[in-house]
Structure 1
Amino acid sequence: MDREIVLMSSALAEEFVRLRGTLLAMEPMPRSVAVIGVSGGEGASVVAARLAFSLAAARSLGKVLLAEGNVRQPSLAKTLGLADHPGLLNWDGSGPLPTQELTRPQSLTVMVAGCRAETAPLTALDEHLHTAAQRARQDHDMVVWDAPAMTQWSDAVPLAAACDGVVVVIEMDETRVDALRFLRDTLARHRIPILGSVLNRSGRYWPLRRAHPAASKD
């Protein structure tokens, strides 16, 4: 199923209310969460967005930020229909983060990856992410990071370490068990807690929006 459909599906709202409730019931309650997959393509960006939407809907939580930490393969701007500049890569490390406000829900702001010159290297990105994570916690009550895939980019670990923990996204019938073990062991080695996991089903598991012609012959 298209990510836009999943992102707006009311059928999934209750699932994210449950995930929100699990996080908010923890002691201490995490204020900064990284949503992470193993290899990429598990749907972490959509899960991060839906979780942030659900957190922002609970207005008592205050200001919620959805932040894109995957600057090498960004997707939030396109997914949410936002301007792709300015963003994290354009932040100079001081002052407020470059965020954009959504009209719905009103208490949610988004920081996209931003743009950089093609000749500008991604140097000192670990430190930049860490500083941005600290500033995000300072300016917002809750932060949800769309993190890079654990086995693809080295940025994943320092970003996750700057958060209170991670939510792991697993794609049904696709995510390898040995890759999950690698993720678990890496997180344990860096003392990064796993706050929960999401089993993301691919499109073939969703009910068709239209009945297949063969299905009606019964």
Structure 2
Amino acid sequence: MSNSTLRRRPVITHENPKSPISEAYRTLRTNIQFSSIDEDLKVLMVTSAEPGEGKSTTLTNLAVAYAQSDKKVLIVDADLRKPTMHHTFRVSNRYGMTSLLTNQAAIHEVLQETFVPNLSIITSGAIPPNPSEILASKKMVSILDELKEQFDIILIDAPPAIAVTDAQIVATRADGVILVVDAERNKRDLALKAKQNLENVRARILGVVLNNVDRKNKDAYYYYYYGESK
């Protein structure tokens, strides 16, 4: 069994689209769409306060939910420290975002199809020694501008917002940010600090996804807060 298979997380919205959890992700997609009716939200960033809160799983299933609504969707793995998307979708990570940002490849060379119709991916590429610096480059802006011409929705997986500045940098390039919080393990002060870090760069936080909420309805995988989270 390969390392990719070992580390692959299931994509529930693709494998079991009629499940209550899949329906929850479709509801999240709808909530995002209605959160800004007058503006076109094309680039969304997903982050968390700490590692292990489910940001990448949330992003993956949200991306599939968009793809299932006949949108042309792109996942960009901008977690240049601990990337996971190439494992999830079982694709090569030889070339990716770092290849683009360092002018070693063109967009058409790093775009990869996934096993999900309408869903493409740009993996992280090789892990660089200076993630924050290359994410802050003007090249990042031009890449996203070009990708927005090719895709209806772009979902960016960013590192957790507490430990490093990467998420703050990427947030300034996005139309909106979704903050994922694990209700069972996250401390309130860390969630508030992550929110503050994002607001410091005037990021537009669309809402907070509470993961693993202990509710009477065990089918509810998350709870979504609209707009400003207190």
TM-score (ref. length: structure 2): 0.77
Q: Does 1:99 align with 2:111?
A: yes
Report how far residue 131 of structure 1 moved: 4.0
What residue is the counterpart of 1:215 in the other structure?
none
**Which blocks of at least 5 consecutive residues in structure 1 are unaligned?**
208-218
| Other structure's SS at 2:82 match | coil
Q: How does 1:101-180 map to 2 (within 5 A)?
A: 101-104=113-116, 106-115=117-126, 121-122=129-130, 124-125=133-134, 126-127=136-137, 128-180=139-191
Report how far residue 6 of structure 1 moved: 4.8
Q: Does 1:16 align with 2:28?
A: no
What residue is the counterpart of 2:227 in the other structure?
none
Letter in 2 for 1:69: A
What residue is the counterpart of 1:45 in the other structure?
56
What residue is the counterpart of 2:81 in the other structure?
72
| Worse-matched range after superposition: 7-16 or 46-55 | 7-16
Cα separation, 2, equivalents of 1:168 and 1:175: 12
Q: Does 1:4 align with 2:16?
A: no
Cα separation, 2, equivalents of 1:108 and 1:170: 25
Q: Which has the larger radius of gyration?
A: 1
| Other structure's SS at 2:168 match | helix
Cα separation, 1, equivalents of 2:198 and 2:164: 14
Letter in 2 for 1:4: P
Cα separation, 1, equivalents of 2:191 and 2:179: 9
Q: Does 1:89 align with 2:95?
A: no
Cα separation, 1, equivalents of 2:155 and 2:78: 10
**Which blocks of at least 5 consecutive residues in structure 2 are unaligned?**
1-7, 220-230
Q: Given that residues 64 and 143 in structure 1 are in contact (C-alpha distance below 8 angstroms), is that contact kept between their aligned partners in structure 2?
A: yes
Q: Given that residues 90 and 115 in structure 1 are in contact (C-alpha distance below 8 angstroms), is that contact kept between their aligned partners in structure 2?
A: yes
Report how far residue 72 of structure 1 moved: 0.7
Select which of 194, 204, 217 maps to 1:193: 204
Q: Given that residues 74 and 153 in structure 2 are in contact (C-alpha distance below 8 angstroms), is that contact kept between their aligned partners in structure 1?
A: yes
TM-score (ref. length: structure 1): 0.81
Give the count of matched residue pairs: 199
Cα separation, 1, equivalents of 2:151 and 2:32: 17
Report how far residue 206 of structure 1 moved: 6.9
Report how far residue 95 of structure 1 moved: 4.0
Deviations 1:49-104 (A, max 9, x none): 11111111111x3x210110101100011122111121111124474251111232
| Other structure's SS at 1:113 match | coil
| Worse-matched range after superposition: 128-137 or 148-157 | 128-137
Q: Given that residues 76 and 122 in structure 2 are in contact (C-alpha distance below 8 angstroms), is that contact kept between their aligned partners in structure 1?
A: yes
Cα separation, 2, equivalents of 1:185 and 1:108: 32
Percent identity between the aligned chains? 22
